Structure 1
Amino acid sequence: MDALHTSGIHFAEALQSGPPWLEKFWISVTSLADPKCVFTICFPIAYFLDRKVGVSVLWIGLVSEWLNVVLKWFLFGERPFWWVHESGLTSKQLVTLHQFPVSCETGPGSPSGHCMITGAALWPLVTALTELASRQSRSLVVKLAPFGAYTLLLLAVGLSRVFILAHFPHQVVCGTLAGAALGWGLQARTPATRTPGFFVAAALALLLSSLALSAPQPLSPCHRSIHLATKWCSNPTWLRLDTRPFASICRDTGSALGLGLAAGFPLQQGEQLDPWQRVASAMLALVAMQGLHQLLQPTDVTLWYSTSFLKYATGPWLVASLLPRLVLSLSRPQGSPHTD
């Protein structure tokens, strides 16, 4: 593994030695592909394009993130920004690498969550766009455009993760392949959108199974990764709670519960949105989700996890139930006054 890690360090060096303007590009890509964006951006957009596709995006996103956390617990996986020091490579040869505010992730490194979760969650959306393109055009280029964009996006995400020293190349490749396989395999197994009990049970199952799987090792891989990240991060303020494995579990269980809440208060037959109302709802949902998640988080770790859980539980209910009804009520024409 040392040879594989060393070659990954040299590859990251080559990426970082590129033109200076690429630095902002790679950091922007890795930020836009953060797994949180699946829940706060991809889900609202997909939901108002097609309800089933939107639920599939969120469901696959939370399942793949949970699986990613489990794999990281068992596989661990070093991260370049700490391995280069822990291995003693810097004392053996000259290594010119730079950390960034997004480098210091605190969970284990294998497989890449950005690649795995993004690749899995976007699969149903890309499939839907491909089917739409096939109906609208006979051109092979048009038909393949969604999957072409999907492939280029995952390639860019993978390179950005290596560039910021969050992952080694082999971790990125494993995450990408696992994500595409999960997206393909889970797309046809998305639960019905009107089964609140299933989603509530799924939220409980995800939480309890996470605790059970971590019990034999008492979270030692996570504790070790947090220790190494804290030890070798260039700036302590770059360490973020939302990169810890349990933050992902809170996000996944909260979102599953939120899907249950949304399924319990669905739009009725007479409350269907027309195309313009869908656009308005999508824009309003994006603004509301960003506002919800920009709220200040408490500094206490337990309260931080609890608040994060509540935010992600609220999100699907806002998108699928409350905001569409608000748009319908605002766009409904006023009735004529009654006359005696």
Structure 2
Amino acid sequence: MDLLHSWGVELAVHLQSRYSKHEEFFTLASTVADLHTTFFCLFPIWFHLRRDTGLRLIWVAVIGDWLNLVLKWVLSGERPYWWVHETHFYRKGEAPPLLQFPITCETGPGSPSGHAMGAACVWYVMVTAVLSIAAEKRCPALLYRLLQMGLWGLFFLVELVVCMSRVFMAAHFPHQVIAGVITGILVAEVVSKSKWIYKASMNQYFLITFCLTSFAIGFYLLLKTLGVDLLWTLDKAQKWCIKPEWIHLDSTPFASLLRNMGSLFGLGLGMHSPIYNGVKKKSATTALKIGSITISLFLLQLLNEWTFSSENHLIFYILSFCKSAFALLIPTAVVPWVLCRVFMGKTDGKNL
């Protein structure tokens, strides 16, 4: 593995030296590839334009990130920014000059890449959704073929940029981002074929959230009992990150787990709340869709500004869960209900 890791470090150094002027671009690519973008930006848009695609986005993102967490614990992959300092592969004083950036110091294991995997999941769903819409509209064969080639070309371009950004940031080795892309596509394909997710009951949402959370925590406790420390990477991050303020609790495995489980639970609450059932048919008009998308995005950006102290880890994880749940409840139920009340109130007033 040391030889494979050394090749990855060489590529990272090459990217950092050749594309040093594009640091902001690669930072943006990594930021956009984070599943936070899916929950706070992409989901409200797709949910109101094409509800089944919005639901599939969340299920694929949550299941994919949960699997990513489990795989990271099993594979226990290194990260370049700490491996280069601890390996005995290089002679003394010959370690490559690997740079670090504000988003380099991830605290979890490195394999597979969560950003590459999440981006693959989400973009696979969006590309297949657009192609499905084109097929339903009876798009001419030649135009459909061109659209298909263009969208899949865009998909692989996006993945290439995301993978390059993660290697450039010294957060991942090349083989880790490749593994992330392949695993993400497989997860998206499998979950997308599961038709029951579109009609899942509140009990199913609760049960799946509980089971996934319990399995991850139980797996952690089991391995800890066997003497395996799954938080070994946190010590390495704290030791080798050049700036302590670059280490964030929200990049830890448990923070990611609670955010995703909160998102899934929030989706279930939104889909099965009484107010959602009351506005489901009324919110089908174009005006209400546009209004719901616009207001939801605005409110979610405000919610995104809500941050909390990480001094107490338990409270931090609970608040992360609640914030993620509310972020899904806003576009699915709260905003459409309020808009329907406003529009229906005006209509009733005119009828009087």
CA distance in 1, matches of 2:234, 2:65: 19
CA distance in 2, matches of 1:330, 1:37: 29
Does the 8 A contact of 1:108 with 1:221 survive in 2? no
Determine whether 1:161 maps to 2:166: yes
| Amino acid of the structure 1 residue aligned with 2:287 | W
Deviates more, 1:73-82 or 1:141-150: 141-150
CA distance in 2, matches of 1:90, 1:273: 66
Does the 8 A contact of 1:38 with 1:118 survive in 2? no
Aligned to 1:313: 325
Q: 1:77 to 1:336 in 2, by over 3 A?
A: closer
| Superimposed CA distance per residue, residues 237-292 of structure 1 (whole angstroms, 9 cap, x where no aligned partner) | 00011110001110122112112211212344542332232122112212222221
Aligned to 1:301: 313
CA distance in 2, matches of 1:279, 1:221: 49
The equivalences for 1:135-214 within 5 A come to: 135=137, 136-137=139-140, 138-139=142-143, 140-190=145-195, 191-193=197-199, 195-214=201-220
CA distance in 2, matches of 1:170, 1:255: 29
CA distance in 1, matches of 2:253, 2:200: 30
Aligned to 2:236: 228
Does the 8 A contact of 1:130 with 1:144 survive in 2? no
Regions of 4+ moved over 4 Å: 336-339
CA distance in 2, matches of 1:253, 1:259: 10
Does the 8 A contact of 2:118 with 2:184 survive in 1? yes
Does the 8 A contact of 2:81 with 2:170 survive in 1? yes
1:327 Cα shift? 2.3
| Superimposed CA distance per residue, residues 265-322 of structure 1 (whole angstroms, 9 cap, x where no aligned partner) | 2344542332232122112212222221220212321111110000111122111111
CA distance in 1, matches of 2:34, 2:178: 17
Determine whether 1:275 maps to 2:283: no
The equivalences for 1:326-337 within 5 A come to: 326-332=338-344, 333-336=346-349
| Amino acid of the structure 2 residue aligned with 1:132 | I
SS at 1:217's partner residue?
Answer: helix
Aligned to 2:10: 10
Does the 8 A contact of 1:196 with 1:259 survive in 2? no
Q: 1:91 to 1:40 in 2, by over 3 A?
A: farther
1:17 Cα shift? 0.8
Aligned to 2:101: 100
Determine whether 1:257 maps to 2:255: no
* Structure 2 residues not aligned, in runs of 5+: none
SS at 1:216's partner residue?
Answer: helix
CA distance in 1, matches of 2:91, 2:252: 27
Q: 1:280 to 1:87 in 2, by over 3 A?
A: same
CA distance in 2, matches of 1:307, 1:17: 40
Determine whether 1:290 maps to 2:301: yes
| Amino acid of the structure 2 residue aligned with 1:157 | V
Does the 8 A contact of 2:85 with 2:95 survive in 1? no
Deviates more, 1:29-38 or 1:177-186: 29-38
Does the 8 A contact of 1:71 with 1:110 survive in 2? yes
Deviates more, 1:38-47 or 1:149-158: 38-47
CA distance in 1, matches of 2:309, 2:173: 33
1:192 Cα shift? 2.6
Q: 1:21 to 1:277 in 2, by over 3 A?
A: farther
TM-score by length of 1: 0.94
1:336 Cα shift? 4.2
* Structure 1 residues not aligned, in runs of 5+: none
Q: Percent identity?
A: 31
| Amino acid of the structure 1 residue aligned with 2:56 | S
| Amino acid of the structure 2 residue aligned with 1:282 | I
| Amino acid of the structure 1 residue aligned with 2:322 | L
- Number of aligned residues: 339
Does the 8 A contact of 1:200 with 1:257 survive in 2? yes
CA distance in 2, matches of 1:29, 1:212: 34
| Amino acid of the structure 1 residue aligned with 2:15 | L
